[in-house]
Structure 1
Amino acid sequence: MKKLVVFAIVCLMGCSSVEMVENYKNPDIVLFDAYKVLIVGMANDSAVRQDFETRLKKEFDKRGVEAMRSIDLFDVAFTNTKKTEKELDRLEEQLLDKDFDAILFTKVAGTEDKQTFRKIMSNLNNFYGGFKDDYMGSQGIYYDQDYYDQFKIYHAETSLYCICVGKERSLIWRGALDIKDPNNIGKTMDDYIKLVVIAMEKQDLVFRNK
């Protein structure tokens, strides 16, 4: 099953700036149904958070699964202050009282600066010219702004947690994704969400692959 998931994700990626690098499913879980899911997108930009949660909710709506955005549940004071473990336990009880049975939680876990040399290093093995040829072939370093590609990698994670009675926010599934220097935020969000949905569908988690 995991090979099928990876294959489907690779096919979807194409020219996308988003790549799934890790796909973990709790080995004790065969399938997982959720009837009311809280969507949490952790971001310090409220507009980005709202946009992401809205786009993801649409995928739930299309598949007939009830979902609610965290921006519709949490007030500003809740997200602006650090929470203790006890406060989160109380939140879980409140979610259970409201008939939620799962949380889909997305966050950017970190960033990493990358620099790739545009020239293919293997060409060095085939180079037998002198200084002039070497200089002429490399002088773009001085003035070509694209000679080096500068970009940033965002490491993001989406995790599915069960908040069922008798279980302590049990991890059902986690996908780790890398986002390469997004230029179009909207398209990047859509690509990200597609990868997450495919992975969950293929593993019978909340969604069913029809």
Structure 2
Amino acid sequence: MNPEISARNYEKVVVAALTDNIRARQTVETDMQTQLQQRGIEATRSIDMFPPTVSQKGPDVNMLLKKVKDQNYDAIMTVALLDEETETRYVPGAYGYTPITRFGWYGRFRGYYTYWYPTIYDPGYYTEEKTYFLETNLYDVATENLQWSAQSQSHSPASLRKASVTLAELTVNQLAQENLIK
């Protein structure tokens, strides 16, 4: 929280995920809106106010602020992907060997090969692990000043949906703890 400002409870918030990925924008904004609404905050997704257009540019900032002020919103929450790192690592396979000579399959190639090959050699594989670095900001509409900011990391989330729900829960809980919302 910005120490230079007195805390206030925001009651009407616009949520804006800053991405050109429409699916990600819709998911993040919806989950954040849901969490805010569960606390009694009137929340609107920016995708509803400014639907995606053919042009790749987002809405003009002056037009955005005018619309937000005209509809009496008191805060804008932004969520942005700051960086993404990919790490590739090798996961070794399992090896095992125990010579046993008393079984019938041991004396013939076909039996030996069929029995042991799948259990002796399990090849390793490469896996990619992604780390996403996110920043969530809360701005006061009247002053346009930053009121609160948090940076977070998400390590190889199983799905966008799961990561988005977790981010929304953590963010809204922290805002409530710091008395920025109910």
In the superposition, the TM-score normalised over structure 1's length comes to 0.65
Tell me which amino acid in the other structure corresponds to 1:68: T
Unmatched tracts of structure 1, length 5 or more? 1-24, 120-141
Q: 2:169 maps to which residue?
A: 194
SS in 1 for 2:148: strand
Q: 2:48 maps to which residue?
A: 72
Whether contact under 8 Å (1:151, 1:181) holds in the other structure is: yes
What is the CA–CA distance in structure 2 between the aligned matches of 1:74 and 1:82, rounded to whole Å? Answer: 8
Higher share in helix: 1
1:1-210 matched pairs, under 5 angstroms: 25-77=1-53, 80-81=56-57, 87-114=60-87, 143-145=123-125, 150-164=128-142, 167=143, 169-207=144-182
Tell me which amino acid in the other structure corresponds to 1:158: T
Residues 188-209 of structure 1 show CA distances to partners (whole Å, capped at 9, x for unaligned) of 11111121112211111123xx
Q: 2:95 maps to which residue?
A: none
**Aligned-CA RMSD value:** 2.4
> How far apart are 1:116 and its partner, in Å?
6.3
Unmatched tracts of structure 2, length 5 or more? 93-121
> How far apart are 1:48 and its partner, in Å?
2.2
What is the CA–CA distance in structure 2 between the aligned matches of 1:55 and 1:75, rounded to whole Å? Answer: 17
User: Residues 92 and 78 (structure 1 numbering): CA distance in 2 closer, same or farther, change over 3 Å?
Assistant: farther
User: Residues 116 and 199 (structure 1 numbering): CA distance in 2 closer, same or farther, change over 3 Å?
Assistant: farther
What is the CA–CA distance in structure 2 between the aligned matches of 1:199 and 1:97, rounded to whole Å? Answer: 28
Residue correspondences, number: 153
What is the CA–CA distance in structure 1 between the aligned matches of 2:8 and 2:91, rounded to whole Å? Answer: 45
Identity of aligned residues (%): 24
> How far apart are 1:76 and its partner, in Å?
2.3
What is the CA–CA distance in structure 2 between the aligned matches of 1:82 and 1:67, rounded to whole Å? Answer: 20
Whether contact under 8 Å (1:152, 1:181) holds in the other structure is: yes
> How far apart are 1:93 and its partner, in Å?
2.2
Structure label with greater radius of gyration: 2
| Higher RCO structure, 1 or 2 (CA under 8 Å, sep 6+) | 1
Whether contact under 8 Å (2:12, 2:74) holds in the other structure is: yes
